[in-house]
Chain A
Amino acid sequence: MTWDYIFVQVANGAVIGIIYALIAVGVTLIFSILKIVNFAHGDLYMLGGYCAYYFIALLGAPPLLAMLLSMATLFALAIVLERLLLTPLYSDATERKDEYGLIITFGLAFFLRNIAVIIFGPYPLKPPSFIPGVQHIGEMTVTNDRLFAGGVGIVLILALLYFMHRTIWGQALDAVSQSRESAAIVGINSRRFNSVAFGIGAALAAAAGALIAPIFSLAPDMGVLPNIHAFVIVILGGMGSVLGSIFAGILLGEAENLFTAFFPDPTRALAYTNAFGLLILMVVLIVRPQGFFGRRHLRME
């Protein structure tokens, strides 16, 4: 067990962790504004990946442009979905909005995943790399695609933070996330911001899908695992905290990588990697339900 080995594993954990975080920030954003956990996020991620693939394959768009187009597509699609499905969340007549949001997004996930098999076909697809090749950093080998995904991921998250804290629209969104009523008093139409937030969340999912497609390939059921990863991160990072998501993403990436790398029984290490992440999730929920970076209790007792 050399230091090189440990370095390589830790570095890889950080890279994959940032990629995980990119998937999770969308869930965080949607939660902080709409107060629902989006169970369909992994499937929007899947759609985003496929959209980017088809923009490249059919229109010959360069990968980065395809990613942006895919984000725009998912933004629009998400707003339609939000208008169609989520409006009861804003009505006082709706009881138990938690449950409504849960079942409706769960059902949406079920629908999207199964319709994707029909639309996109069963075979795994892989769009071309953003930047082909690999980098060697000491003993560590990492593909350019991972570095690119991590880099763009950080840029997108920073852009989101900038948007939230430095622009009028972002401030308004943040106000809505703090209190719907107060926002209404100062004349912010929270209805529109819900759509925007859901759209941005979906666009972030699409970006993640497009960035990650060259790394893991596309398959209709590819959203299931990232969805679970996103939940782990969002819980770990504290519901509603974007910065917390980044830390938690890296933490999860490290936890999983180091588990696989050092779990004493090598036969089971890989098989239990996902279970380990979930175990962390469960323990955090029991011990510290507000997460490690949560800025406030959100509807927890």
Chain B
Amino acid sequence: MSAAAELIRGVSLVKRFGGIVANDTVEFSVVEGDLVGLIGPNGSGKSTLINMLTGHLPPDGGEVVVRGHEMRGQAAHLYAAMGVARTFQLTQLFGRMTVLENLLVPGLTRPGSTWRSVVQQARSTLDFLKLTHLEQLHAKNLSGGQQKLLELGRCMMLEPAILFLDEPFAGVHPHLRDQLITRIQELHEAGRTFVVVDHDMESILRLSKRLVVMARGRKIADGPPADVREDQAVLAAYAGS
């Protein structure tokens, strides 16, 4: 482990659905400043892993440690309070609330936040995402790509230490996808840590500094993208699927 502080660690995480083992003793940790790509074929357990790491799914075995705190039995909103933000595979916005309100919600959950400062912060976030002109629109009326951007903005409003992005590029127009990648890169350069899950190998490879590959509920590779690409197990997993 490098000098950088460990932000989140999953220790031998296990999750079963009925008879299916969705995650089988998965070890996963992210240090500050990292930009991790998480890939794997459909049903390999990526989303399950993310759901456990962000508190949305209680693990059947193992535990999640966020910044040194053991999180067993804690509700999802406490993960958020600890600086763990996430987006969802299918965008989950507050559809009949305005774009601005969507950003106010996470901002106002932070202790000590004032309405005035949060509105200010939300407006600058909208500026950053280039969504300012849509401020008063209901979130459900945005296009798919704009919704992904807004969801990213909602994460930013938590001023998180780490962001989990679950398939941020799925179904996004190429033009907006480039914009999304740019935003992520800018944020990363500003010091944010990311875990990005996607099928879109090209984008992932463009983005990530470290690549984690999952297959059949297990982690089969973890390392710099260039190394992982050559890994036999990975090739086999993709060929087999």
> How many Å from the CB of A165 to the closest CB on chain B?
22
Q: Mark B202-214, 1 if CB is under 8 A from A, else 0.
A: 0000000000000
Does A265 sit within 8 A of B, measured CB to CB? no
Q: Which residues of B contact A95 (CB under 8 A)?
A: 95-96, 140
Total contacts A-B at CB 8 Å: 3
Taking the closest CB of chain B, its distance from the CB of A269, in whole angstroms, is 42
Task: Fill in one digit per residue for A83-104: 1 if any B CB lies within 8 Å of its CB, else 0.
Answer: 0000000000001000000000
Q: Which residues does chain A contribute within 8 Å of B140, judged by CB atoms? A: 95
- A interface residues (Cβ-Cβ under 8 A, vs B): 95
Q: What is the minimal beta-carbon distance from B77 to any residue of chain A, in angstroms?
A: 15
Cross-chain pairs A/B with CB under 8 angstroms, 3 sampled? A95-B95, A95-B96, A95-B140
- A261 → B minimal CB distance (Å): 39
Complex CA distance for A95 and B140, rounded to whole angstroms: 10
Within the complex, what minimum Cβ distance (angstroms) separates B207 from chain A? 30
Q: Which residues of A contact B95 (CB under 8 A)?
A: 95
User: How far is B140's CA from A75's CA once the two chains are assembled, in angstroms?
Assistant: 36
Which B residues from 126 to 177 make CB contacts under 8 A with A?
140
- Complex Cα–Cα for A95 and B94 (A): 11
> Top 3 nearest A-B pairs by Cβ distance?
A95-B96, A95-B95, A95-B140
Name A93's closest neighbour in chain B (CB-CB): B140
Q: What distance in Å separates the Cβ of A263 from its nearest Cβ neighbour in chain B?
A: 39
CA distance A95 to B96 in the complex (A): 9
Docked Cα-Cα span, A95 to B95, in Å, equals 8
**Chain B 77-102 near chain A by CB (<8 Å), digits 1 or 0:** 00000000000000000011000000
Bound-state CA distance A149–B95 (Å) is: 48
- A77 vs B86: C-alpha distance when bound (angstroms): 48
- What is the chain A residue whose CB lies nearest that of B95? A95
The minimal Cβ–Cβ distance linking A182 to chain B, given in whole angstroms, is 15
A69 CA to B116 CA, complexed, in Å: 67
Which residue on chain B has the smallest CB distance to residue A301?
B56
Looking at the assembled complex, report how far the CB atom of A294 sits from the nearest CB atom of chain B, in whole angstroms: 13
Cα–Cα distance between A95 and B139 once the two chains are bound (Å) = 12
Q: Find the A residue at minimum CB distance from B140.
A: A95
Chain A nearest CB from B219 CB (Å) reads 27
